[in-house]
Structure 1
Amino acid sequence: MPDSLDQLDARLLAFAQARDWERFHSPKNLAMALAGEAGELLEHFQWLSEQQSAALSPEQTRLVALEMADILIYLIRLSQRLGVDLIAAVEEKMAINETRFPVDPEGLAAEDEPRRA
């Protein structure tokens, strides 16, 4: 079982190559599949209250985890096809967010409402 992003990356690439899926895994197709999987994740939370969404049953949590896994798989495959270092991209984005959304001296976000990264 992979325990690092690099190992997972290698395993996913080998899996796709062994099945000759590289020809189907264009950046466009992977991005579309990623969006579809994100939609499937949303289905698990549709119509739930905030409280219900934070108190999923073990089975619901397992199903959500599998959808999250699908999303990560497609995201890693997309990064492979585009030559994007995901860790470096996250580091860059976090540096941008730290500047855009500073913390006040009391440790609270400077803005009242959470914003998307």
Structure 2
Amino acid sequence: MEELIKGILSFRDERDWKSFHTPENLAKSIMIEAGELLENFQWDNSFDKDKVMEELADVMIYCVLMADSIDADIIKIMESKLKKNSVKYPVEKSKGNSKKYTEFD
């Protein structure tokens, strides 16, 4: 994962794009790409897997760039969030259940 992150940042830096990658611009870009991902499912549940993977990659790349722009270690923040979610969604209450943790008994 670390090599992939370095590759993404290197791609950006080789093109001198960092000055355009403000947190605000990157948040917008994430949403735009997420919309393009969602567009693949607009009218039914059939989809072109290659197109979906392209858009998913764009979303993930922009997320890596966002983490860099706010000086966040993307691996650490995902690990931290996963730990928080494991507390909010214990297996015994959430297994096979799509309810939000605030709806648990």
Report the TM-score when normalising by structure 2.
0.85
1:109 and 2:94 aligned:
yes
- For the residues of structure 2 that align with 1:21 and 1:113, how far apart are their CA atoms? 40
Alpha-carbon distance, 1:111 to partner: 8.1
- For the residues of structure 2 that align with 1:71 and 1:32, how far apart are their CA atoms? 11
- For the residues of structure 2 that align with 1:90 and 1:13, how far apart are their CA atoms? 19
Q: Determine what percentage of the aligned residue pairs are the same residue.
A: 36
How many corresponding residue pairs?
Answer: 101
Among candidates 3, 6, 12, match of residue 7 of structure 1: 3
Among candidates 41, 45, 58, match of residue 37 of structure 2: 41
- For the residues of structure 2 that align with 1:88 and 1:11, how far apart are their CA atoms? 19
**What is the one-letter code of the residue matched to 2:28?**
M
What residue number does 1:69 align with? 57
Q: Which 5+ residue runs of structure 2 have no aligned equivalent?
A: none
**What is the one-letter code of the residue matched to 1:91?**
E
Q: Which 5+ residue runs of structure 1 have no aligned equivalent?
A: none
Among candidates 19, 22, 47, match of residue 15 of structure 2: 19
Among candidates 80, 84, 90, match of residue 96 of structure 1: 84
RMSD: 2.0
Task: Please identify which structure carries the higher helix content.
Answer: 2
- For the residues of structure 2 that align with 1:66 and 1:26, how far apart are their CA atoms? 23
